A and B are shown apart, each in its own frame.
Chain A
Amino acid sequence: MAKVASEEHELRRVIDEEREVAGLGEDDLLAVYRSLVLLRTYDERSLVYHRQGRIGTYAIFWNHEAMQAGSVHALADEDWIFPSYRESAIGLLRGMPPSTVLHWWRGHPAGWWDPAEYRVASICVPIGTHVPHAAGLAWGEKLKGNSTVAIAYFGDGATSEGSFHEGANLAAVMQAPLILFCNNNHWAISTPLEAQTRAETLAAKAAGYGMPGVRVDGGDVLAVYEATREAVERAHAGGGPTFIEAVSYRAAPHATADDPSAYIDPDRVAEEKRNECVGRYERYLRRLGILDVGLAEKIKGEALELMRQGIAEAEAEPEPDPELVFDNAYVLPPPNLRDGWDG
């Protein structure tokens, strides 16, 4: 099932090769760990909250944390993030309160955040249609003479979408400072990668757009960081967009409404779980002597407390005002907008 990587598309690795990333000090490495733990805690608690009926259907991102944390740490605060639903909680890494994201999954309008406040665009629910937005933003910032970079996250299935193609091509033609970040977890709900493409690798598609395509181990947070940092540097130097294929394997259901037992290989899932990304990084930091059990427990405890506060805040939020049905569709609403409304 697994595809053989061509020589130029070998997976970049840091942790398994026991390398160190130049320029990352102890504090940086611990900051990356905190981000991983925060995302992991958000995800695991969300599954519990869903089962308790406290949030609605939820798209699980367990074992995708390294791709999200590694790439965000390579960005500057002014750089723009365009998430898919798989990156619903990525705003936490920009200081967004967990309650905001929980509101989103609770269907409460308090989950509407201001993208400009965090430089995190709204969650894109349809597949790949945010790629042109990220391309347009990156191009628009470049036209204004700013050094802002944009990153768009999407999965392997999205590379089959027309929007991915049109956005990638637009970014390349305009030499827009964009990072196309593909989390290739090998599954689009139940459709495996080999039913999605005949390309040898997804990174190979980059050549067709005239942009570099690189492959990294998506479970290796430092490899993801390093590859993203290079893409940012290329964008800043006027080198345009980069396609990053982060290779992983979906070890959890697509979402809380999915039962993968009908289609997935349980042995492969078990193998992935043994090698999950947070534990891999934790062991790496311990080998370097940067992290001990006490500090790890402290960081996990802090994340858990943040989530407890988040769900408490979300549940304390009053029911939304029914007027919100009309409030935000237009700046200048047409006069007959409320025809038929008895509220």
Chain B
Amino acid sequence: MAERFLVEAVNDALHVELERDETVMVMGEDVGRAGGVFRATAGLRDRFGENRCVDTPLAEAGILGGAVGLCMAGWRPVCEMQYDAFSYPCLDQLITHVGRYRWRTGGKMQFPLVVRMPYGGGVRAPELHDDSPEAYYVHTPGVKVAIPSTPADAKGLLAAAIRDPDPVVVLEPKLIYRTARGEVPEGEHVVPLGQARLAREGTDVTLVAYGAMVPVCERAADALGDEASVEILDLRSLRPLDEEALLASAAKTGRVVVVQEAPRTAGFGAEIAAILAEKAILDLRGPVLRVTGFDVPYPYWKIEDHYMPSAERVANAARKLLQF
């Protein structure tokens, strides 16, 4: 097994999947000649040609709408949205068509497309390069959502998304694109959607997170040291959601803190809290606490660290819960 950075694992997955299935194609802004602004698609154009790694016009709704038609012609398009917040123009297509078209045909047609994008803050970037839009996507019926936090999962979840017969949005934590490094299986590697990963085992409190918040939770657990035995559940996919793993961990520790960098209200953390209230109330020894971003536009980068959930905020939430 080779050691790779997370973004290199994405690139590896694309090479393997385009090689495996000649109907898979990559499309997006700057994905071809430049190999993507983060180089996630580097080398694909040379290897597979300009028709399977396509530089499109700068038009996110046109990219995703075009992908719908490509699916009807038998292709499996993998669309790159250059940044999280640049994906908002494609929400029109995602909500009005991508999530509904199979339903609209009575299940006769399939739309096996993937939308992948770098997401999240902490990278000292200009406005609208820092958002965590997962709630918009997961709130769209007909669409699945996966978010890796390790290089191996970045490869495996993207491969699963490409092979899935339904539309899948894959959010890649850009903050750890080139800091998360780990062993990645060579060749075909698939991590099934809907299986959470127990990133750390513990008995006193469960930290539930995904994407770039997983390493934040790991640092929080380290900071807590002997104060508590911390379990960390990396959800890996928000839909399908591994409720079994969530409920098992809640039953084990009785205390759950959910961590997301997206704004607080109606974020995915609220969904986790609601599921625990409905299905695990008798297992809980205290309230489900949320550590989140705030209900404000993502701040300018000189003050972004005050917005992003920190290991300290997560550790404090865990302490509060342990003292409840």
Contacts and interface: CB of A to CB of B under 8 A. Distances in A.
Given A328-B107, A332-B166, A126 B73 contact: no
B265 interface: no
B66 A167 contact: yes
Interface stretch (A4-12, A16-24, A113-121, A297-305): A113-121
Given A116-B108, A129-B93, A166-B62, A136 B101 contact: no
A136 B166 CA distance: 18
Interface in B53-90: 56-57, 59, 61-62, 64-75, 89
A328 B106 contact: yes
Contact of B240 (A113, A130, A141, A335): A335
A14 interface: no
A121 B105 CA distance: 9
A3 to B, nearest CB: 28
A329 B142 contact: yes
Contacts of B309: none
Contacts of B101: 122
Contact of A169 (B62, B67, B93, B99): B62
A113 B105 CA distance: 6
Given A129-B97, A173-B57, A335-B194, A136 B105 contact: no
Given A135-B69, A162-B61, A331-B165, A140 B75 contact: yes
A129 B75 contact: no
B61 A133 contact: no
Nearest to B237: A334
A198 interface: no
A328 B108 CA distance: 9
B293 to A, nearest CB: 25
A337 to B, nearest CB: 9
Given A132-B62, A328-B106, A331-B102, A143 B69 contact: no
B66 A135 contact: yes
A165 B89 CA distance: 13
B240 A166 contact: no
B70 A139 contact: yes
B24 to A, nearest CB: 13
A132 B142 contact: no
A172 B309 CA distance: 46
Chain A: interface secondary structure?
helix
A136 B68 contact: yes
Interface string A306-323: 000000000000000000
A132 B61 CA distance: 8
Minimum-distance CB pairs A-B, first 6: A136-B69, A132-B65, A140-B73, A166-B62, A112-B106, A136-B66
Residue from A117, A133, A138, A331 having most chain B Cβ neighbours under 10 A: A133
22 contacts: A112-B105, A112-B106, A112-B108, A113-B105, A122-B101, A129-B93, A129-B96, A133-B97, A135-B69, A137-B73, A139-B73, A140-B73, A143-B73, A162-B61, A163-B93, A165-B59, A167-B62, A169-B57, A329-B102, A334-B194, A334-B241, A335-B243
Interface residues of A, number: 44
Interface of A: 80, 109, 112-117, 121-122, 126, 129-141, 143-144, 150, 162-163, 165-167, 169-170, 173, 327-332, 334-336
A222 B164 CA distance: 46
Contacts of A327: 107
B144 interface: yes
A133 B102 contact: no
A59 to B, nearest CB: 17
Contact of A138 (B56, B69, B142, B243): B69
Nearest to B239: A334
Contacts of B102: 328-331
B105 A115 contact: yes
Nearest to B144: A334
B97 A134 contact: no
B277 interface: no
Given A122-B105, A169-B59, A331 B68 contact: no
Contact of B51 (A126, A143, A336): A143
Interface in B200-252: 239-241, 243
Given A170-B57, A331-B110, A336-B243, A133 B74 contact: no
Given A135-B66, A170-B59, A329-B142, A140 B107 contact: no
A329 B142 CA distance: 5
Contact of B70 (A80, A137, A167): A137
A121 B51 CA distance: 24
Contacts of A112: 104-106, 108
Nearest to B65: A132
Contacts of B125: none
B302 to A, nearest CB: 34
B96 to A, nearest CB: 5
A129 B71 CA distance: 16
Contacts of A113: 105-106, 108
B62 A129 contact: no
Nearest to A125: B96
Contacts of B286: none
Interface string B189-205: 00000100000000000
